[in-house]
Structure 1
Amino acid sequence: MGPVKVIHVHLLGKRRDLYFGSIAAIFTVLTPDEVGCGYDYLRRAGLSGGGTVMTKKACIKQSVLITSPRGGKEQA
Structure 2
Amino acid sequence: MAKVIHVHLLQQIDGVKRRDWYFSSLSAVFTVFTPEQVGVTKNYLLHAGLSGGGVIINKRAVIRQSTLIGRSRGVSG
Please state how far the C-alpha of 1:56 moved relative to its aligned partner. Answer: 1.1
Please state whether the residue corresponding to 1:67 is helix, strand or coil: coil
| Aligned residue among 8, 15, 35 for 1:32 | 35
Partner of 1:67: 70
| Aligned residue among 12, 15, 20 for 1:17 | 20
Larger RCO, structures 1/2 (Cα 8 Å, 6+ apart): 2
The AA in structure 1 aligned to 2:7 is V
TM, length-normalised to structure 2? 0.84
Partner of 1:6: 4
Distance 2:48 2:41 in 1: 11
Structure 1 portions without partners, runs of 5+: none
Between the two proteins, the alignment pairs up a number of residues equal to 72
Which 4+ stretches in 1 moved above 2 angstroms? none
Distance 2:21 2:60 in 1: 13
TM, length-normalised to structure 1? 0.85
Structure 2 portions without partners, runs of 5+: 13-17
Distance 1:13 1:71 in 2: 43
Partner of 1:49: 52
Aligned CA-pair RMSD? 1.4
